[in-house]
Structure formats: structure tokens, C-alpha cells
Amino acid sequence: MNNIERIRQELLKRGFGAMMITSPVNRFFAAGFTSSAGVVLITAQDAWYFTDSRYIEAAGSSVTGARATLVTNNETETYYDRIKAILKEKSIASVGFEDSAVTFAGYKKWTEKLELELVPTEKLLSDLRMVKTAADLDKITKAQRIAEKSFSEILPVISTDITEKQLAAELVYRCVKNGADDKSFDTIVVSGPRSSMPHGVPGDEKICSGFLTIDFGVRLDSWCSDTTRTVCIGKPDAEMVKVYDVVLRAQEAGIGYIRANVSGRGADAAARCVIEDAGYGACFGHGFGHGIGLEVHEAPNATKTSEDLIPAGAVISAEPGVYLPGRFGVRTEDVVYVTENGCENLTKLPKDLIVL
């Protein structure tokens, strides 16, 4: 069953006559193709991928489950016109839309042009995207292997003679050389006291002694990976070793909790309890994890406030951390695939503290 059909079945279950998909990532999820301009329209009987002359040839060979349809997008024919005509012909009075992907101005314009009600249905797509197919999982795993190979290759490059920016660039270069299409997010490389910044930006500072945190990922065939490792430049002191061990035990506790239909909040709590018991609760400010797929951050979430249940088939990060401002920080991140009885760790990099 292709994703257009999966979406259609959910539309019918929820009583919607049609859904309009405008965001690039969800157009790819629905039909296997994306572009800077386009709209997917799905009804109970049919589906269309509307795009313009720049993309129609590529769409014709790539779109699955829908008709690739040319729209000239000039004064006499627009996306609005084509979609309005179809909805009118089929007597559809309301259409679902991606409420978080459409601006207020866009919502007003679509409502005005289509002359019907737009109903928020984004959660329908996010729920479907949480559950990965075997093909999806294979692509995420391949992305993960490329990232891991590249990380192993840059370990000998790390020294106090290069800057954080230079190391980040070297890692991205290795990822692309090893087969990635691109990075999945801006690579984080922070060393010494700067490692206490969870999302620190690589700077012109040379890598210094102490902890070095590297958070990186690749994109392959539109699917993402995400990994963090913290290594040590020079011999760590006793507290550094302690914190590294606390973070690792917290991650193991969270991963051990995860299985189908548990709460994201519960997974976060399992990890957070270990860190709090060690006296570092105030130093763990972010959540335990997040979903990974066509976006590096997607549902389900595993945070203190998350309402998400984690379904079988989800791929989710496990990334607790402890950050002591001005001193050092530690984060270890793996990616796991959720099953009925537990989860499978997709990350194969070792987690023993590497001292360089």
C-alpha cells in the first residue's frame, strides 16, 4: 500500500472528503516527490500532484499514487483554480490542510480562493509518519551507517591544531564523500568549556583539552540520521568520568523503558531519574528524545511535557545530557527502532569514553 492510499483510508475514517498537502516534506511522504512548488490533492477516489513546468517531467517519472499534473500557474490557471474545480465537481464542502505548515495569510488566501472550509488535519500526517515501513527503516539505517563510518574516519583528524569549524567541515565532507546527499542539520562541534552548550555553534576557536561534543547527521534519499558522541581531549578528571557514566546510564534507562505504546514522558522520566539521583537534575534541560524520519525532528517526542504515545515502528533518538556551564558538557545520542516488546538500537558506534 502506498502512502497516498494510507492517507486516503485515514481521511475516510475521519470523515474528510479531501486533503490538500502543500509542505515539501509531506508532499514527498505522500507521493515520493517534492519540489519548491506544488500541491497534492487527495480525494476518496483519486489523487493529483500539481506542479509547474520546471518539475513536471521529473514528477511524471517519480510521483507514486497520484497523477502528476501540469499547472501553468499564470493569470488563467493557478493551483487554486484547478483544486477549486475538482472540489466543486465532487461536491466537497471542506478540505483538510496542514495547519502548522500554512501561514495565517496562506490560510486566508486558500479559504478565499477555494470558497470552502479548511479543516486542520496535520496530525493525520504526523501520526502516519511516526510508523516507518521496512523500506523507510532500511533508508534510515543506511544513513546511520554512512554517518558512523564518517565519524570513525575523522577521529584521527582531531587535534588541538584545528578549529571547531574545520572539524565540522571535515565531518560533513566525509559524510558526503561516503554517500550522503547532505547533512541532516547543522553539525555541532564544541570543545572544552563550550561543550556545556547543548546546541553550540562551531567557532573559530581551536579544539581544546577537555570534552569535545560532536552532534551530526546525514540525509540520504530524503531520510535522516542523528548521532552524538562526546570524546575527551587529554585525560579526564574524576568528575568528568562520573558525569560521562551518569549520562550513559541515563540513556540505558530510557532505552530500556521504550516499547510500543509507552509514553514519551515516561521514557524521559526514566532517564531523568538517573541524572537527578546523581545530583545533576538541574543540568539536564532538554528532552530525552524525538522522532527521526524525513525530518530530523518529528513526532513522537520524549520530553517532560510530551503527550505522545510511542507506536511500534517509530524511530526515536535517545540523547540525555548533563551540562555544567563554563566547565563541560556530555551528551550521548543513539537512534532506536520501536517494537512491540522493546526497541532495537540502530546506532552501532561504541559508547566507551574515547580519550584522544
The residue among 23, 20, 26 whose CA lies nearest residue 3 is: 26
Angle, helices 24-31 vs 122-130, to 10°: value is 60
What's the pLDDT score for residue 76?
A: 74
Query: What is the C-alpha separation between 230 and 340, in angstroms, rounded?
Result: 31
> What are the φ/ψ torsions at residue 92 (nearest 5 degrees)?
-95, 125
Contact 195, 229 (CB under 8 A): no
**Domain residues of the chain, as ranges?**
3-130, 134-345
Query: What is the C-alpha separation between 331 and 149, in angstroms, rounded?
Result: 20
pLDDT tens, position by position, 119-163 = 999 999 999 999 999 999 999 999 999 999 999 999 999 999 999
What's the pLDDT score for residue 77?
A: 83
| Predicted TM-score of the model (pTM) | 0.93
67: pLDDT strictly greater than 80: yes
CATH class label, 3-130: alpha beta
Superfamily of domain 134-345: Creatinase/methionine aminopeptidase superfamily (3.90.230.10)
Q: Bin 52: left if φ > 0, else alpha if -120 < ψ < 50, else beta.
A: beta
What's the pLDDT score for residue 137?
A: 97
The residue among 7, 54, 5, 53 whose CA lies nearest residue 26 is: 7
111: pLDDT strictly greater than 90: yes
Reported confidence tier of residue 72, pLDDT bands at 50, 70, 90: confident
What's the pLDDT score for residue 68?
A: 92
**Of all helices (H) and strands (E), which one includes residue 86?**
helix 79-89
Percent of the chain surpassing pLDDT 90: 92
